[in-house]
Amino acid sequence: MLLAAVGLPDPACADADNWIGQPSLTRYSPADTDAHPYSFSVLALEDGQIYVGNSDGLLRYFGQRWQRIPMPGAGAARSLAFGADGKVYVGGYQNFGVLKRGVDGRNEILSLESGFFPDSVGAPLGEVWDTAAVADGVYFATSRQIFFVGYDGRQASISLPGKLLAMFSPGGPPVVVLRDRRMFQLHGKELRPWLTAAGRVRGLVRQGPSQYWLLTDTGNLYRIDGDQAVPREHAAEAMLKTANPYTMIALPDGGYAIGTLSGDIVRVNADFTSYSVWPTGPAPVLGLAVDRENHLWAATETDIVRMSLSEAWSLIDRSHGLRGGVTHAAEYQGRLYVSTSVGLFGAIRDDSGAARFETVALAQNEVNDLVATPIGLLLGAREGIYLWRDQQLLPLVGDMLVWRLIPVPICPGAHLRGRGHRAGCARPPGRGLCGRPAVQRSQLPLR
């Protein structure tokens, strides 16, 4: 048993948010969902259920299991909304409906378009691109018409004055955007002219009674106040210009997530002054939603992705330049250091601002623990204890296999002692014990 006791003041602390990497990520492929890889939209409910609009129908995720619910006519589920009546509404291809439990206890989609086309088999709708729920019912948007179904059974249809680009649900009245960039607010059965956008609108989120952020597919950002849209420069503008934004949602922390056709998810803060890029793969990100456990779900053209938004968890791996098995991490003088089985790595920023790692010391040597102190960064390694300071490595104790370093208070008149499996800080007899175990060696066999 090898022990090393280190008496230190409290370690210096730094802002860990400076070195957040990519969130932990889970992929759900067709092998998991038993469905087509192409997904369009995501809806997260407060009870933990996740619904995904997919080429093979509506997918439901609950209790770590996937269920596929066929659409009428075995078509795709394109758009989703959660109604004020507590039901899930689905826009598909040539149809739209509501999710209900059948007489056999199974989930099924009840068609609602038949009330508008009673004499036809299959409505001439095409894609139902967007679905928006309001206080008294649900709107279903096709390329040329919008259909309204009230929770009380009322029905109405609204002809569009041009071809639809998108219908947004930013909070307040739904917003209809046409391909000629005209924007309308939808009040009941009335389309009220609002603005003419400067580009193809891909994101619209509400900030106040009449304030919005508007994002175009070229990454241009506008601040809307009433009927005025003012362009705003922002940190992610150059990156988004080539990434092609497709969808944007507000996040619980006040920031925003932007899904792009390049396959990246871009997370920006509340005032768009900083951002981070989370690659999900080459497939376009078409839909986003946040669940009750603070996971961000993304519907893409090849799979479904779930990412943790928790500040406590973040993934930094080989794609960031790390090598070997990670043993510990610590911040020292504003820089993140990671110890691995093949050396000490330090974080740097690349041109995009993302974290990357380079070897800084003990290359190809096992480093087991790190402790940041006011005098330097202590390393516990296979060959002993080292101090990293001023970009130099200083050996302190050699010929010792160190597994763990634990800071202990320095007590006046005290000394460090080690016996058996413990080392501690003790006063002379009769004056009590000060501190706690300083170092403990794992009893697992070594390689």
Domains and CATH numbers, the chain: 6-16+316-426 (no CATH), 23-308 (2.130.10.10)
* Residue 364, amino acid: Q
The three-point CA angle 386-387-388 to 5° equals 120
Q: What is the residue-level pLDDT of the chain in tens, covering all 447 positions?
A: 343 444 444 333 334 445 555 678 899 999 999 999 999 999 999 999 999 999 999 999 998 899 999 998 778 999 999 999 999 999 999 999 999 987 777 899 999 998 888 776 556 789 999 999 999 999 999 999 999 999 999 999 999 999 999 999 998 999 999 999 999 999 999 999 999 999 999 999 999 999 999 999 999 999 999 999 999 999 999 999 999 999 999 999 899 999 999 999 999 999 999 999 988 989 999 999 999 999 999 999 999 999 988 765 566 778 788 899 899 989 899 899 999 999 999 998 876 667 789 999 999 999 999 999 999 999 999 999 999 999 999 999 998 899 988 877 655 544 444 333 344 443 434 443 343 334 443 333 333
Parallel, antiparallel, or unpaired for β 275-279 and 285-290?
A: unpaired
Closest-CA residue to 5 (of 415, 431, 341, 434): 415
Q: What is the pTM of this model?
A: 0.71
Q: Write out the DSSP string of 423-438.
A: EEEEPSTTS-B-S---
Closest-CA residue to 246 (of 301, 295, 293, 194): 301
Residue 2 φ then ψ, to 5°: -110, 130
Q: Which two tokens stand for residue 58?
A: 């509506």
CA dihedral 343, 347, 349, 350 (to 10 degrees): 20
Parallel, antiparallel, or unpaired for β 6-7 and 407-408?
A: parallel
